[in-house]
Structure 1
């Protein structure tokens, strides 16, 4: 039989069998060919900056009307999902009308200048033969790497300048030069994370074995869960973050860009190591370690201690049930690059991050209306929950 793959979009089924291999966003589209999945809102939000291009692509696909019986959901869930979609779309249109999706040229320039300034001052300090200045230089370079990662995150969502082509080029340059990583691979893996956060076998951010296990369900073999690294992950976390970064830098990222021949990423990554050579191996090592702790550590505060799922969820439910906000305060906004507004970011990934604090009350109101939790922790409490979760997962795996 000729098995065709379809996605549900705006209550029509679209045949994507031959389109999957051509999808610019990679294989994430296959997630939505499964029973009970609806791609409407994820396409709307992740492709906000290229909606006209999406319309052209969708119009070229064969489509057919979808009946309620084909949705793979019972009547109560289907009605709830439609109500949630209606209210979320209403909020989306309101925010769009009020200009929240519009990037700020001032913010875009300041973010880039801040990163370059930190790198420049750090480089001057590292050139000093004074031990104190060298230490300051390492700290400044580490912070610059972290700010570069946050800027790259913004560029990867095309919300810095709002021009997809410009943001894509800047993403490759800043992420490659500043962090030594591939922007193309980031967009590929990060889109899958945004599609279904904390969904087993779908969210690539859960794939951290054999170094870390944020949930016992990601460990398929009980023997792997009893390994030294996983059993001591709560105590080795600050070493584990470096190891994860090391695997990315020297294995996964080079393999990805070489296989796909992403030349701009290659050149930028090469430039990172050329500059690293001139600041010295040990300086580079400490900078990479500190930056990995800051970047990966802050990532873990948003998802890792939240429950995982194997069942289809509404796009809005993923944000409220499987992500959490950290402290809403100006100092935390800067330290975490506005990723402390993780719920808001997952609902509206193309809103420039500096605007997220201004929509939190409306997002919270949406959660209250639909009896969904709006989870927020203080900065220190989020760190405590993350470490507690690591320890509890290790204990659970030990008892298997």
Structure 2
């Protein structure tokens, strides 16, 4: 039953998803595999009492039908082939940054092949022995982080069934590509991601229900979370002193949440992601995930042992590399952080289009930096049409924006720095509100 309710999301495997505590309402997203001309089969597709919501939802579904008819949900294989080459290119560049002699050897091979002896001499003279320079370690750590970040985007799109043409689903190619990028390169559990991300799309920012945006006791995102936070405390009847002490600690943490949000996401986001992946994979007996994550640890350990001779260099590399990968977690946060939160009943009164635009934020990019965000910059379009391939998001955005303008729905889009400042301002305001809450009341 749960799988049937979630199937329109078509994000991936459903068997590992736990039963939701709140209902999933049909039609929260696009289902390009379904017949767009078929009449609604679910009661929640029936007209609601809110005429404005009905009109907005009708136009949204009409846009979905148009995109389906235009073939917009069909990916371009060459796009993802090039993106995969970018992943390998960054990986190779990170390797060469630590081993200039390898670059020299490759240059020698090319020189011999094309008969350029002068280039061969240059390659021979470029080899220098000695300890690694700090800049080499920093450069390699950043380049490897870029490789893993771009691999994460491909893994995300693959598990959304947005990379391969129909028939989509649990195919071998899809599984291998996802495990290559998410499991082997990034080192996370695909099944864990599917489980959490299914629910994230189903209950975007619903207080206490969206597993990817529960940050007690670090960051308060909405006043609607305060009752849930209070419920996490020890009982006021049996342990009032402990309850007051814990709440005071929570208030101290959130007092500086507008300052800690970015550095903590960068510094601990990567470690946390790896930890919950291993816990999930072992607890759910996802042995395929375990094998690919173990392979990730193997190649990363070999990288550290072979390419970095001293303990100091290894520690520096790991710290910088994981912090750079942590930028990905900041990108993920900005897509939804400090937007509105709604209960299940409130979601139903809004309709899917208004709900997704109220809980999601786009990041304004240029032609030269959109690659860095990997589709996260068009999060509104992604949440409206989760299976839409990444390279179609920018083309669809003007049509979504026009629909929002037509119905007077705010379309949130900020550049990266402005979004960070906006989130910091809202987090600071929320921390002040939390400081006034009496846990004994």
Q: TM-score, normalised by structure 1?
A: 0.81
* Residue of 98, 104, 115 corresponding to 2:76: 104
Matches within 5 A, 1:3-42: 24=15, 26-27=17-18, 31-32=22-23, 38-42=25-29
Query: How far apart are residue 191 of structure 1 and its match?
Result: 1.4
Query: Residue in 2 aligned with 1:58?
Result: none
Query: How far apart are residue 215 of structure 1 and its match?
Result: 2.9
Query: Residue in 2 aligned with 1:139?
Result: 142
How many positions carry a matched residue from both structures? Answer: 360
Query: How far apart are residue 124 of structure 1 and its match?
Result: 2.3
Query: Residue in 2 aligned with 1:123?
Result: 95
> Contact 1:198–1:309 (CA<8 Å) still a contact in 2?
yes
**Aligned counterparts of 2:417 and 2:260: Cα–Cα separation in 1:** 19
Once the two structures are superposed, what CA deviation does each residue of 1:80-100 show, in whole Å capped at 9, x if it has no partner? 443333212211111112121
3-state SS, counterpart of residue 340 of structure 1: helix
Query: Residue in 1 aligned with 2:197?
Result: 190
Once the two structures are superposed, what CA deviation does each residue of 1:299-356 show, in whole Å capped at 9, x if it has no partner? 1221102011122332222211111111142234112112111111110111111111
Query: Residue in 1 aligned with 2:434?
Result: 397
**Aligned counterparts of 2:385 and 2:22: Cα–Cα separation in 1:** 20
3-state SS, counterpart of residue 101 of structure 1: coil
Matches within 5 A, 1:1-400: 24=15, 26-27=17-18, 31-32=22-23, 38-42=25-29, 44-45=30-31, 48=32, 51=34, 66=43, 76-77=49-50, 79-127=51-99, 129-162=132-165, 163-164=168-169, 165=171, 166-219=173-226, 220-221=229-230, 223=247, 226-241=250-265, 242-250=267-275, 252-280=276-304, 281-282=314-315, 283-292=317-326, 294-310=327-343, 311-313=346-348, 314-400=351-437
> Contact 1:233–1:394 (CA<8 Å) still a contact in 2?
yes
**Aligned counterparts of 1:65 and 1:197: Cα–Cα separation in 2:** 21
> Contact 1:302–1:325 (CA<8 Å) still a contact in 2?
yes
The ranges of structure 1 where at least 4 consecutive aligned residues each deviate by more than 3 angstroms after the TM superposition are 4-9, 22-25, 27-31, 63-68, 79-82, 224-229
Structure 1 segments unaligned to the other structure (5+ residues): 10-21, 53-62
**Aligned counterparts of 1:111 and 1:271: Cα–Cα separation in 2:** 22
Alpha-carbon RMSD across the aligned residues, in angstroms, is 3.0
Structure 2 segments unaligned to the other structure (5+ residues): 7-12, 101-131, 231-243, 305-313
Query: Residue in 2 aligned with 1:56?
Result: none
Task: Sort the Cα spacing of 1:206 and 1:8 in 2 relative to 1 into closer, same or farther, 3 A.
Answer: closer
**Aligned counterparts of 1:370 and 1:225: Cα–Cα separation in 2:** 44
Task: Sort the Cα spacing of 1:301 and 1:8 in 2 relative to 1 into closer, same or farther, 3 A.
Answer: closer
Query: How far apart are residue 40 of structure 1 and its match?
Result: 3.0
**Aligned counterparts of 2:27 and 2:57: Cα–Cα separation in 1:** 9
> Contact 1:122–1:137 (CA<8 Å) still a contact in 2?
yes
**Aligned counterparts of 1:170 and 1:40: Cα–Cα separation in 2:** 28
> Contact 2:26–2:44 (CA<8 Å) still a contact in 1?
no
Query: How far apart are residue 266 of structure 1 and its match?
Result: 0.9
**Aligned counterparts of 1:367 and 1:329: Cα–Cα separation in 2:** 22
> Contact 2:3–2:14 (CA<8 Å) still a contact in 1?
no
Once the two structures are superposed, what CA deviation does each residue of 1:149-195 show, in whole Å capped at 9, x if it has no partner? 22221112111224432223311221122222111111111111111
Rg bigger for which structure? 2
Query: Residue in 2 aligned with 1:59?
Result: none
3-state SS, counterpart of residue 376 of structure 2: coil
Task: Tell me: higher relative CO, structure 1 or 2? Use CA pairs within 8 A at least 6 residues apart.
Answer: 2
